[in-house]
């Protein structure tokens, strides 16, 4: 996508792009409300809502009590009765506290009432490690919710997608869970003006290549792109796919890439076992793209460990650029 209109592409941070999306939605649709702990005057744990409370007032930008289960329950109820709440968690780890409302209510009510109602709810989850926030504030739990039919789960990796996917989520009649990597909040990038949507369920090919496909999510997309640059200098031509949506997964984009390259690396920050990459791998192995595989599939995911507080250990338990380089070289040189 290019913006012919302006020679200087407008840049916003990922957090600013999300705030702009919420601002646009609040202005355009009176049913849209923001809910969450400290999102009002404080501006949100990561300053994403910022000063929106001053523009739209406390009726539409509501601080909720320190009970994720209670807040989520109110949000589900509001969605059922005609509002479009955007509920912010302070940390995605706290999804655990609200599981009943997310998994047993939001995801299932429409089904159980025969389609008579829907839950147009958006939940935002600051996710991932790298901030020194230790084991209970650093996890990547998108696979928990990706396992639940009735939910949509997305992981935008750029400011442009962060805005576009939030606006797309608001147009969706069903609950959409947005995992925002905390390290990305300060990342700057081009963000188009005004209202636009980035489709949910559609992956983005961030770099085209012939030798292997790297399917990555969230922050790992940037690590994969950085690795791909170094690998290109070594003559290893990687295709990098930003999965963007965990559920429903973009089968066609991934399979087409694997059919072309014959090799697959999945890079994701969540725990490797039973994670997003496991699903991508299985999807490929079960498909006709299997016949195009010329090397074993490799998954790079989080270690079988809580995220440590120690900064060096914190880096060690999630995939880093050197891990991607090593995996790609091993595959390219036929060592695995």
Partner 1 sequence: MPVEVIMPKVDMDMASGKVATWHVLSGEHVEKGTPLFDIETDKAAMEVEAEASGILHHPVAEGVDVPIGQPVAWLYQEGEAVGEPPAAVPLAASEDKKASPPADETERDPVSAVKADRVEPQQYGAADNVRATPLARTIARDAAVELTEIAGTGPRGRVQAADVRGKIDARQTETPALQFQAESGPLNISRSRADKGIPVVLIHGFGSDASAWKPLEAYLKGRPVIRIELPGHGKSPKLRIDSFAELSSVVRRAFDTLDIERAHLVGHSLGGALALSLADTRSKSIASLTLIAPGGLGPEVNGPALEGISKSTRAESLGPWLKELVFDETMITDGYVKAAMASRKEPALRAAQARLCDTLFPDGVQSFDLKAAIGRLDVPTRLIWGKNDAIIPWRHALRAPGNIALHLFDGVGHTPQFEAPAEVGKILRQVYDGAS
Least distance in Å: CB of 228 to partner 1? 21
If the CB atoms of residues 117 and 293 are measured against partner 1, the closer one turns out to be 293
195 part of the active site:
no
Number of shown-chain residues binding partner 1 (CB under 8 A):
10
Task: Note the Cα 272 to chain centre separation in Å.
Answer: 16
Q: Quickly tell me which residue has 């442009």 as its tokens.
A: 160
* 235 touches partner 1 by CB under 8 A: no
* 290 touches partner 1 by CB under 8 A: yes
For partner 1, the binding residue among 70, 192, 262, 306 (CB under 8 A) is: 262
For partner 1, the binding residue among 232, 283, 295, 321 (CB under 8 A) is: 295
* 336 touches partner 1 by CB under 8 A: yes
* 192 touches partner 1 by CB under 8 A: no
| 137, 160, 180, 222: the active-site residue | 137
For partner 1, the binding residue among 4, 291, 304, 312 (CB under 8 A) is: 291
| 16, 68, 88, 160: the active-site residue | 68
* 210 touches partner 1 by CB under 8 A: no
R_g of the chain, CA atoms, integer Å: 20
* Cα–Cα distance measured from residue 206 to residue 226, given in angstroms and rounded to the nearest whole number: 11
Residues numbered 24 to 63 that lie near partner 1 (CB under 8 A) are none
For partner 1, the binding residue among 96, 99, 205, 293 (CB under 8 A) is: 293
Stretch that binds partner 1, among 7-15, 60-68, 233-241, 286-294 (CB under 8 A): 286-294
68 part of the active site:
yes
For partner 1, the binding residue among 23, 43, 131, 292 (CB under 8 A) is: 292
* 77 touches partner 1 by CB under 8 A: no
* 134 touches partner 1 by CB under 8 A: no
Least distance in Å: CB of 296 to partner 1? 8
If the CB atoms of residues 116 and 336 are measured against partner 1, the closer one turns out to be 336
For partner 1, the binding residue among 2, 5, 286, 335 (CB under 8 A) is: 335
Binding interface with partner 1 (CB under 8 A): 262, 290-295, 334-336
Catalytic center residues: 68, 137
């Amino acid at each position: 996508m290019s913006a012919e209109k302006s020679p200087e592409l407008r840049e916003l941070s990922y957090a600013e792009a999300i705030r702009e999306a919420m601002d646009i939605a609040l202005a355009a649709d009176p049913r849209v409300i923001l809910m969450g702990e400290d999102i009002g005057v404080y501006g949100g744990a990561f300053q994403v809502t910022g000063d929106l409370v001053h523009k739209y007032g406390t009726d539409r930008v509501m601080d909720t009590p320190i009970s994720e289960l209670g807040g989520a329950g109110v949000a589900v109820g509001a969605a059922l009765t005609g509002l479009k709440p955007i509920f912010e968690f302070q940390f995605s780890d706290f999804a655990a506290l609200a599981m009943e409302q997310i998994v047993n209510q939001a995801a299932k009510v429409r089904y159980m009432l025969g389609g008579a109602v829907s839950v147009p709810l958006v939940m935002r989850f600051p996710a991932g490690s790298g901030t020194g926030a230790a084991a209970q504030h650093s996890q990547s739990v998108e696979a928990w919710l990706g396992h639940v039919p009735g939910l949509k789960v997305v992981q935008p990796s750029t400011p442009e997608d962060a805005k576009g996917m939030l606006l797309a989520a608001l147009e969706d009649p069903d609950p959409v869970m947005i995992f925002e990597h905390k390290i990305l909040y300060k990342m700057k990038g081009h963000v188009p003006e005004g209202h636009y949507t980035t489709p949910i369920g559609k992956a983005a090919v961030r770099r085209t290549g012939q030798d292997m496909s790297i399917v990555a999510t969230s922050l790992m997309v940037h690590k994969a792109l950085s690795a791909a640059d170094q690998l290109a200098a070594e003559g290893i031509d990687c295709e990098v796919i930003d999965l963007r949506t965990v559920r429903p997964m973009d089968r066609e984009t991934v399979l087409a890439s694997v059919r072309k390259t014959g090799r697959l690396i999945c890079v994701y920050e969540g725990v490797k076992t039973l994670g997003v990459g496991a699903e991508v791998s299985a999807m490929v192995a079960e498909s006709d793209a299997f016949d195009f595989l010329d090397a074993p599939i490799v998954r790079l995911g989080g270690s079988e460990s809580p995220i440590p507080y120690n900064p060096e250990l914190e880096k060690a338990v999630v995939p880093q650029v050197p891990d991607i380089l090593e995996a790609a070289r091993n595959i390219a040189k036929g060592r695995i």
